[in-house]
Structure 1
Amino acid sequence: MSTTPSLNGQVIGLAHYATRALLERELARTGTTFVESLALNATADGGGSADCDQLVARLTTGLKIDDDSAWAALAGLTETGLLEEQPAEPSRLRLTAAGQERQHRIRAAAGGITARLYGDFTTEELAVAGRVVATVTARANAELAGA
């Protein structure tokens, strides 16, 4: 007899790693790392350009990685021509045409994964799960900030 496990860190972690493995498989087809994909998404979410320091802060805060790893991802995206410095503001990066195409491809792949994994849950189920996970994340981040 199988029972549904209670929600806890292990269950959330297993869901995260399984989902991320699906995304990583798609990212491998594009030659993009997970961190780079998040930087592309953040830049696109900012209207196609973003302040470098804010991008690094978003990556380090969200992924719990160090500054060097975040800067390395931005350097990789710049070296491959997916991001470029804005001539008038070198502290800002913008998506190139190739970067926009790659980001759209990644977002479409992530959307497909999301639809397959979450598509049969009700709006109410997703709302409750979202609130629980967001609250756990906020609590963990508060503890990390206090450490």
Structure 2
Amino acid sequence: MTTTTPTVDGRVIGLAHYASRAALERILARTGNTFNQLVTLRLVAVGGDWVERDRLVEGVTGSLKIAESIVQDTIDELTTANLVEEAPAEKPRLRLTEAGQERYERIATATGEVAARIYAGVPAEDLATAGRVLTLITERANAELARA
């Protein structure tokens, strides 16, 4: 435990991110899924009955800041694994299969349990403040990326 309260900066945010990510990766290792696959599954799961493929690719690239080709490969992996299915149309659309829904729910439940332990005892007002600050930092970082 640290004896002083650090100022929030990129290092502190990064350390929290990587520690949380390592906990998530343990869960994903048990399911055989990757982080990119989880992010993609989540966006399909919350996207309604069908999600347009282009919109999904845009959402994942925007969230993870990765190349579109990587997201396309991830969608192909999920399709091959029968976790998502595609409805060919003028604008291809995707949805979770039954197996995909079950997998997503299993991962979401496990990550929810871990998150509950991680955030246990942190006052709600502190979490709200952290949420506001991190949202602002994310917006500013995205604006910097858009300038490049």
TM-score (norm 1): 0.95
Q: Give the superposition deviation at 1:119.
A: 2.2
The aligned length equals 147
SS at match of 1:2: coil
Distance in 1 of aligned mates of 2:23 and 2:95 = 27
**AA in 1 matched with 2:59:** R
Bigger mean CA deviation after superposition, 24-33 or 81-90: 81-90
Farther off after superposition, 6-15 or 48-57: 48-57
Correspondences of 1:19-38 after superposition (within 5 Å): 19-38=20-39
- Runs of 4 or more, structure 1, over 6 Å off, are none
Secondary structure of 1:121's partner? coil
Cα distance in 2 for residues equivalent to 1:89 and 1:32? 30
In the alignment, the residues of structure 1 paired with residue 120 and residue 50 of structure 2 have an alpha-carbon distance, to the nearest angstrom, of 31
Gaps of 5+ in 2: none
Amino acid at match of 2:10: G
Q: Which amino acid aligns with 1:2?
A: T
Q: Which amino acid aligns with 1:79?
A: T
Give structure 1 stretches of 5+ with no counterpart: none
Counterpart Cα distance in 2 of 1:89 and 1:29? 37
| 2:68 counterpart of 1:74 | no
Write the letter of the residue equivalent to 2:16: A
Q: Which residue is equivalent to 1:51?
A: 52
- Of all paired residues, the percent bearing the same amino acid is 52
Q: Residues of 1 paired with 2:21 and 2:50: CA distance?
A: 25
Q: Please say which of residues 125-134 and 113-122 is displaced more in the overlay.
A: 113-122
Q: Which residue of 2 is the match for residue 99 of structure 1? A: 100
How far apart are 1:86 and its partner, in Å? 2.0
The amino acid of 2:124's aligned partner reads T
RMSD of aligned residue pairs (Cα, Å): 1.4
Q: Using the TM superposition, give the Cα deviation of residue 121 of structure 1 relative to its aligned residue in structure 2, in angstroms.
A: 1.1
SS of 1:75 mapped into structure 2:
helix
The alignment partner of 1:130 has SS state of helix
Structure 1, residues 27-70: CA drift from partner, whole Å, max 9, x if none? 11001110100111111101243111111111111101001111
- Tell me the residue number matched to 1:145: 146
